[in-house]
Amino acid sequence: GDSVTQMEGPVTLSEEAFLTINCTYTATGYPSLFWYVQYPGEGLQLLLKATKADDKGSNKGFEATYRKETTSFHLEKGSVQVSDSAVYFCALSEIQGAQKLVFGQGTRLTINP
Amino acid sequence: NAGVTQTPKFQVLKTGQSMTLQCAQDMNHEYMSWYRQDPGMGLRLIHYSVGAGITDQGEVPNGYNVSRSTTEDFPLRLLSAAPSQTSVYFCASSPSSVREGYNEQFFGPGTRLTVL
């Protein structure tokens, strides 16, 4: 079945550092790919998405590119802030409309001032 | 517009007790779902519904029941709680994909359940 694998956490960085969180997937078809973020004590929020190969999703300074050849969707940000501290989830959906999401295990990110 | 709401926020049960986790949304979304979040495992789909009166099983449905009598509400029932059901439960909703193409899922704040 479909699966998503994220880099192991936790990840701790200093403010203004460059961030990469790796995400690879296994799917039978052509899934849509997502990054969700969970701030402490809250539910998940959609951070960005890409629905076809070579699409780049971006939001709040974060970017991820849908790479079909490497089945990857790595999350990047050029300069992280303390407010970016959260848990980040990579997810996919084979179904149009993102209705049945398959999540990775999550990566906890802590940014120190 | 409250979005997706869940009650209670926290709950402690004893093994064998039953309870219902409540989920409601005021966005007129047709699709609703329940996930559980466990450390190191991400979120896993328990049950979902594509509209009132229609439900189906997700990846980990055992031990849970759902019903969808209205568009707004999608309660999750634990008939006989077990320690393995200790988790954080999230409800989510989204508009119908059939009519509206790609859609984002909106998540509630979660219910933290402990079964002793």
Q: What is the mean pLDDT of residues A53-65?
A: 96
Predicted local distance difference test score (pLDDT) of residue A41: 83
In this complex, which of B35, B41, B104 lies closest to A98 when CB atoms are compared? B104
Q: Which residue has the higher pLDDT, B103 or B110?
A: B110
**Strand, coil or helix: B86:** coil
In this complex, which of A41, A43, A104 lies closest to B107 when CB atoms are compared? A43
Contact (CB, 8 A) for A9 and A19 = no
Q: How far apart are CA A108 and CA A89, in angstroms?
A: 9
Residue B96 has pLDDT above 90, yes or no: no
Among A60-69, A96-105, B20-29, the least confident range: A96-105
Q: How far apart are CA A2 and CA A25, in angstroms?
A: 8
Contact (CB, 8 A) for B4 and B91 = yes
Residue A100 has pLDDT above 90, yes or no: no
Predicted local distance difference test score (pLDDT) of residue B32: 93
Which residue numbers of B have CB closer than 8 Å to A's CBs? 4, 31, 33, 35, 40-45, 48, 50, 58, 90, 92, 94-98, 100-105, 107-110
The angle subtended at Cα A70 by Cα A68 and Cα A73, nearest 5°, is: 70
